Amino acid sequence: MKRNDWGFEYTAKVLAEAAHGKRTFHQERFTWWKDKKDQVLNEIRSNGIEVDEKIALEYRSPKSRDWDRGTQVTVREDLSKNLSECIEKLSFHTSLINDYDGWHQVLVANDSALLNLDHADWLFFFGQQH
């Protein structure tokens, strides 16, 4: 027997419980990342903005009237990267929350069904959470 062909039988009720557990885990991770995003945004607002005024603005000349190129406002690169990571993680966990919630609903509605899982299915419902 090839392991890729193996199947494992579970009731939908057991899978619904597993889906609920996974959804709860990803909801907790979502909450953690949302709090982290709020912290990063607060740091950006308080001290993450950098303003670079060109020296040319200090002199009286036709060039000093070039206000469009005179000042640049940027967010510190480290904070920008942190914010991007938070957004990426929020998107990732939102997707999994939706997946597990959908599976939970289907499985609860059919809790006596006997389902055959392969390796990938088993990992989806019971694999270690990261």
Beta-carbon count within 10 A of 48 CB = 19
Q: How confident is the model at residue 49 (pLDDT cuts 50, 70, 90)?
A: confident
Share of the chain above pLDDT 70, in %: 85
Q: What is the pLDDT of residue 73?
A: 78
Query: Quick one: average pLDDT of 32-51?
Result: 92
Query: Global pTM?
Result: 0.79
Looking at the chain, how many residues does it have?
130
Return d(Cα 75, Cα 66) in angstroms, integer. 23
Domain limits of the chain? 8-48+76-126
**pLDDT over 60 (residue 63):** no
Question: Residue 87 contacts by C-beta under 8 Å, 6 or more apart in sequence?
Answer: 37
Phi and psi dihedrals of 64, rounded to 5?
A: -70, -10
Return d(Cα 65, Cα 75) in angstroms, integer. 25
Return d(Cα 29, Cα 94) in angstroms, integer. 10
Highest mean predicted confidence (pLDDT) among 3-7, 36-40, 55-59 = 36-40
Q: How confident is the model at residue 54 (pLDDT cuts 50, 70, 90)?
A: low
